[in-house]
Structure 1
């Protein structure tokens, strides 16, 4: 039944969504796509007034708390008065990002609760007008990103539990909100496009727009062609991606996968089997929550996250790793510690990640391969034995060496390909990297 529901959702989206069918990426957009594929590692930031509630005492509850706890709008609107992130230091944030080896930041400009984390003029439901803090955190962050050479992308939720014209209701944010059972859908899309215009005209050149929420109303007329055209007209270089969990629509510039490697579906909602030729990105959490949650201590180890990043690169995908800042504006110390470990690893081994494309051997349980020019990097992540057999390569091998010390790797041809000798004393606990020169 679940698979049938996803099939119906896909068909409805295909029938009701007209994308930017005549889209031809501008030269600056194509250039940004190449930059994006070279960058490989970014920071995802889920931050909003929901951080004040810190998950409400439940693990796994954070930015969805309004829906999960069924908090009416009248009550939820009291949260901004408690949101005063006086410890927010954009210079510190961006410095952490750079030390972590990250190349870009994607931050929530508006999440499903409808609250804008910037100075929106089309609605006073925003951080400047409704909080004691009274300042535009996106503007401060963008200015600092420009100073330190980091690209900034804006997450924008098409789903909105607060706006009265988000009607008919979708699968979430229904009767408990207290909204009238009426509304003008086209007025809501106009509102959304006006907010997107603000984001694309008031903050200089941005990396792109990271959409989420179409899955809430798969049968709606989202007017994607108009929205995508608007974005590409205002900023031809801005990249558009949408977390709709299906194959990309025309007008989108990269394809994303939520908490799954491309082609996998361990989470149950990455149903598409299509892996496009567009730049790819995988997003993941450091614990089990996107937003700040005091009770969620289920932190992934730095080893696990590094290995996931390596496998993502082996698929040709970027790794967008999330943090949910605290309501005071600080990034959790546990998250900073993890990022620093990853940054030190990338400082030593980044050559095998940055600027690479997916290697000739698809990632598997033992590891992955990446490639840059005539160098293939074999990333051995999990291998008990001291031999690894890989498929034959279509180019002649000049030599194979261990990345760590440059010593030669013994190898021989086999019926299925090549057998590599990897003695135990040469193994790295996180990633044993071999360089194959072809």
Structure 2
């Protein structure tokens, strides 16, 4: 299928890791998988998961203020606990927790009321269902996955049980999400414990697209997804296909009281600019408390990022990837018609800002957020050998506290010199 244009122009999505793990502030699913506590102790958190102050309209308003165009909610993590009333198992917050209601439908409705696209996270694996840990892949590329929550001991395989899991739990729950909530995007995780043939990923992707032709599937589909999902670090060499960086506000995904290293607005602006400068989206994660509310500091950070995006919206959407490294000391983006170049300056510009290898003449230079117009001159170059000089842009009088953006209106579409110079 063709990439949906809304996705490549969304630029910012909000990832929401919400589940029973927020009750005691433990690692989502991994805490019992790694033996930090028993699965019984982990699932006992269900008794205290209330969603008492869950306000999906307030969530959607916050995401809008942050500048996001879509969000992704963890409908079921590796622990197998569903946030909706699934018919496939009894392990849901609807049946087993004081929350006692569907949490996915109100989220989807609230996003759509604000024009945001609906993403649903779904774990392929399920460390709580007895039919899941019943087969082993042909090759264990990651030895740590040889865990009894994930697969049986050698010689104890039960392929028929895994087929039941695929048909009634995995496929069954996905059909429920598609039929009930009509997501724009499915964000998969947890495929690494089986091989492609065991999951029958090609067949799964085809059936999802037949059901929902306009849906997007993330890259954790063993070659059958629509875009890549690097995690926690901006790629040095951005992929040459659509991509999305999933990134945390603090150190963890789900809510944890000890998660005190919350990134500053300046850090978030930097990683956001680097991501969109490389042609990607930022999927920025926030973990609500068990009652459905966000930590005040997280709200402030999202709002701060959104205020910067609003001041510099022209450089954010609709734009594409900017200059390759080496032309400007910082990220950049390019307008849809490729005639306006946006330079991001993380440090306060002093005296001048340099741009190298630009063939185009520059008609005008503006500072986004203030409207100040800047002078410039071209220094050096070797015109007879078709080597352009360096564009030196006067530093603005007033910059942005987080990142100053300069808009260069060019004559014609961007044209760059990529040679080694002439002697």
The TM-score bracket by the shorter chain reads: 0.7 to 0.9
Distance change in 2, residues 1:132/1:335 (3 Å)? same
* 2:135 pairs with 1:168: yes
Residue 111 of structure 2, aligned match among 142, 145, 163 = 145
Structure 1 segment 378-389 matched on structure 2, within 5 A: 378-382=343-347, 386-389=351-354
Segment of structure 1 superposing worse, 113-122 or 375-384: 375-384
* 2:391 pairs with 1:419: yes
- Aligned partner of 1:101 in structure 2 is 67
Gaps of at least 5 residues in structure 2 are 382-387, 411-423
* 2:189 pairs with 1:212: yes
Residue 309 of structure 1, aligned match among 272, 275, 278 = 272
Conserved in 1, the CA contact under 8 Å of 2:248 and 2:286? yes
Structure 1 segment 22-421 matched on structure 2, within 5 A: 25=1, 30=3, 33-55=4-26, 61-166=27-132, 167-168=134-135, 171-172=144-145, 174-175=147-148, 182-184=157-159, 185-190=162-167, 191-203=169-181, 205-217=182-194, 221-243=198-220, 249=223, 251-263=224-236, 275-277=239-241, 279-362=242-325, 366-372=329-335, 373=337, 374-382=339-347, 386-403=351-368, 404-415=370-381, 417-421=389-393
Conserved in 1, the CA contact under 8 Å of 2:84 and 2:102? yes
- Quote the offset at 1:394 in angstroms: 4.5
Deviation string 1:103-131 (CA, Å, 9 cap, x unpaired) is 11101011111111111111111111111
Segment of structure 1 superposing worse, 388-397 or 44-53: 388-397
Conserved in 1, the CA contact under 8 Å of 2:374 and 2:394? no
- Quote the offset at 1:349 in angstroms: 1.0
Q: In terms of Rg, which structure is larger?
A: 2
* Paired residues, number: 389
Deviation string 1:192-226 (CA, Å, 9 cap, x unpaired) is 121111111111x3111111122344576221111
Deviation string 1:313-353 (CA, Å, 9 cap, x unpaired) is 10011111100100111111111111111121122111111
Segment of structure 1 superposing worse, 158-167 or 33-42: 158-167
More helix by share: 1
Partners of 2:53 and 2:13 lie apart in 1 by 23
- Quote the offset at 1:152 in angstroms: 1.0
Between 1 and 2, higher relative CO (CA 8 Å, sep ≥ 6) is seen in: 1
Conserved in 2, the CA contact under 8 Å of 1:365 and 1:382? no
Partners of 1:216 and 1:386 lie apart in 2 by 55
- Quote the offset at 1:396 in angstroms: 3.7
Segment of structure 1 superposing worse, 349-358 or 411-420: 411-420
- Quote the offset at 1:428 in angstroms: 3.0
Conserved in 2, the CA contact under 8 Å of 1:311 and 1:363? no
Partners of 1:236 and 1:136 lie apart in 2 by 26
Conserved in 1, the CA contact under 8 Å of 2:8 and 2:280? yes
Segment of structure 1 superposing worse, 140-149 or 307-316: 140-149
Distance change in 2, residues 1:348/1:186 (3 Å)? same
SS of 1:436's equivalent in the other structure is strand
Conserved in 1, the CA contact under 8 Å of 2:135 and 2:152? no
- Aligned partner of 1:15 in structure 2 is none
Note the aligned Cα RMSD (angstroms).
2.6
Partners of 1:422 and 1:153 lie apart in 2 by 43
